[in-house]
A = this chain, B = another copy of it.
Amino acid sequence: MKYLVGIDIGGMTIKGGIVTTDNQIVAKSVIDTRTALGEDVICQDICDLIHGLIDMAGIEKNDILSVGVGSPGAIDTNKGLVLIAVNLKFNNVYLAQKIEDLVGIKTVVGNDANCAALGEYILRDTTAKSMAMITIGTGFGFGLVLDNKVYCGETYGGGEMGHSTLVFEGEECSCGEKGCVEAYASFTALHNQIDRFIAQNPQSFLANYPKKVEGKELFELAISGNKEAQILVDRFLVYIGQTVVNIINIFDTGLIIIGGGISKSSDYFLPKIIEYVDKTRFCKISKLPEISVATNGNDVAIVGAANLINHI
């Protein structure tokens, strides 16, 4: 039996797993990301993690076909090169080669959002050949699979849907520009939308709520029937919905997955988004893509990274 190794490097932890060729995880583990100690220590930690996983699974090293690594940042997948990953302090790190030299197994590296999207895509029983995953978190994450391959762009700077314009000259975005999708369709943006509502409506229920209303509470209040929360959430969903429309008009993927904290409230939001998208998309003669929520399992990123070698 042959296996794949998937590694998901995050700012705080590095998760790893051994995956069968039919995507069952037979061993998984997690270690701290020792960013302060630099890239060589991190690579050695990943090597030790992989050896630990091999022992845990009770398999031989030469049963492993390849190692796939998901890393934050801009990645040159062809060269296995992390061009820049700010929160790992990586700058032009040939990560694939470094890990391959230490572990002695063929290694590839891809962007973490693309690995997560790939994992969701692989673990789903879909006939779609293309898929976009948006993740509504502090920012607006975007991963893209086109014709069964992760899409990175020619110089590995593509897929920045979160920094395409939704509202020209609109709200300031963390990137320094104005009106980006992320400035409207992220939890950071939602919190600004709540703050503005409260400032403009000091007598409102939300302004006088016993604790600060953040995204999670706002969704809970909306689901429980609170009208103020529903107005804010529904407006937020229109921003997400319009972004999904743009993705469909531009890419026409067969599958769209919505992930992040929001996906727990899918009974409330998914029908609203699907209705908005179906009404607003351009090419109504084409089939409405399947739109669903992410499984959001930690394993998704591991499975995606493990399968990366067959999807680049």
* A249 near B164: Cβ-Cβ < 8 Å: yes
* B254 near A154: Cβ-Cβ < 8 Å: yes
* B163 near A165: Cβ-Cβ < 8 Å: no
Residues of A contacting B: mostly = loop
* A84 near B157: Cβ-Cβ < 8 Å: no
Question: Which single residue of chain B is at the shortest CB-CB distance from A279?
Answer: B177
CA distance A54 to B285 in the complex (A): 37
- Most chain B Cβ neighbours within 10 Å, of A128, A159, A239, A246: A246
CA distance A166 to B285 in the complex (A): 23
* A167 near B164: Cβ-Cβ < 8 Å: no
Which residues of the partner chain B approach A151 to less than 8 Å between Cβ atoms?
146
Within A284-312, the residues touching B (CB, 8 Å) are 285-287, 289
Which residues of the partner chain B approach A161 to less than 8 Å between Cβ atoms?
249-250
Interface assignment of A252: CB less than 8 Å from any CB of chain B = yes
* A286 near B74: Cβ-Cβ < 8 Å: yes
CA distance A94 to B248 in the complex (A): 25
Number of interface residues of A (CB under 8 A): 46
Question: Which single residue of chain B is at the shortest CB-CB distance from A152?
Answer: B252
* A129 near B157: Cβ-Cβ < 8 Å: no
Query: How many copies are assembled?
Result: 2
Interface assignment of A280: CB less than 8 Å from any CB of chain B = yes
Once A166-B168, A168-B170 are accepted as A-B contacts, the answer to whether A286 and B155 lie under 8 Å apart by CB is yes
Interface assignment of A269: CB less than 8 Å from any CB of chain B = no
Question: Which single residue of chain B is at the shortest CB-CB distance from A156?
Answer: B286
14 contacts between A and B (CB under 8 A): A74-B283, A83-B286, A129-B154, A146-B151, A153-B252, A157-B248, A158-B249, A158-B252, A164-B250, A165-B246, A168-B170, A168-B184, A168-B239, A168-B242
CA distance A153 to B101 in the complex (A): 39
Which residues of the partner chain B approach A251 to less than 8 Å between Cβ atoms?
153, 158
Which residues of the partner chain B approach A118 to less than 8 Å between Cβ atoms?
none
* B282 near A160: Cβ-Cβ < 8 Å: yes
* A130 near B154: Cβ-Cβ < 8 Å: yes
A291 CB to closest chain B CB (Å) equals: 13
Interface assignment of A245: CB less than 8 Å from any CB of chain B = yes
CA distance A246 to B181 in the complex (A): 11
